[in-house]
Chains A and B, each alone.
Chain A
């Protein structure tokens, strides 16, 4: 079945650590996205990528980094510079302007 897979589902980070969230899609979609969602809030865009080896900052990119070495993969690293990383992280992919699908999310908690 085609879809988007995010892993892990739950992730715990210690203060000062970098952590990487995985996002893989087998939909052959060109564009991929990372969003952050806080309780009771909408989706805020962190980074997005239209094609391999190219990506753009979203509205809240500070403290995050991404790479797009393969069309299928768009990992997100939450760096120690992100002071309030506890949130629900969602990855999405878009096929032109027709369909955009999300993964099931990664819940990151700082311990």
Chain B
């Protein structure tokens, strides 16, 4: 069974203070690793999909990377509007399209 663990559970940063969120996974043949952002009371917003170790994707202040065991979401010079819960999810060859999520990291960026 696929497992996804995100850390830390919560992270507080000052505006401009760069950091990284972690998503470690255990799957039988990774098909895709997904990152989302979720604001309170709303549906998750799609950010990235990564497929193979070594792959990287960027969007504004966010950069996602992937290894064989984990993914990092790097946040460079964050702003208060980056405050949200960041969710990680996987699909695998052994799961038949099952999309399994971690519990998320609540990021707060103070001005």
A residues with a Cβ closer than 8 A to B are 6, 31, 33, 35, 41-43, 45, 48, 50, 56, 58, 88, 90, 92, 94, 97-105, 107
**CB-nearest residue of chain A relative to B1?**
A59
**CB-nearest residue of chain A relative to B33?**
A97
The number of residue pairs between A and B whose CB atoms lie closer than 8 Å in the complex comes to: 62
A58 to B100, CA, bound (A): 10
Q: Is the CB of A50 within 8 A of B96?
A: yes
A58 to B44, CA, bound (A): 19
B residues with a Cβ closer than 8 A to A are 31-32, 34, 36, 41-46, 49, 51, 87, 89, 91, 96-104
Chain A residues with CB under 8 Å of B101's CB are 35, 42-43, 45
Chain B residues with CB under 8 Å of A90's CB are 43-44
A43 to B34, CA, bound (A): 14
- Nearest CB of chain A from residue B8's CB, rounded to whole Å: 14
Q: Is the CB of B89 within 8 A of A100?
A: yes
Known: A42-B102, A42-B103. A31 touches B97 (CB 8 A): yes
Q: Chain A's interface: helix, strand, loop or mixed, by majority?
A: strand
Q: Is the CB of B97 within 8 A of A102?
A: no
Known: A42-B103, A56-B98. A99 touches B46 (CB 8 A): yes
Q: Is the CB of A56 within 8 A of B46?
A: no
- Nearest CB of chain B from residue A80's CB, rounded to whole Å: 27
- Nearest CB of chain A from residue B38's CB, rounded to whole Å: 9
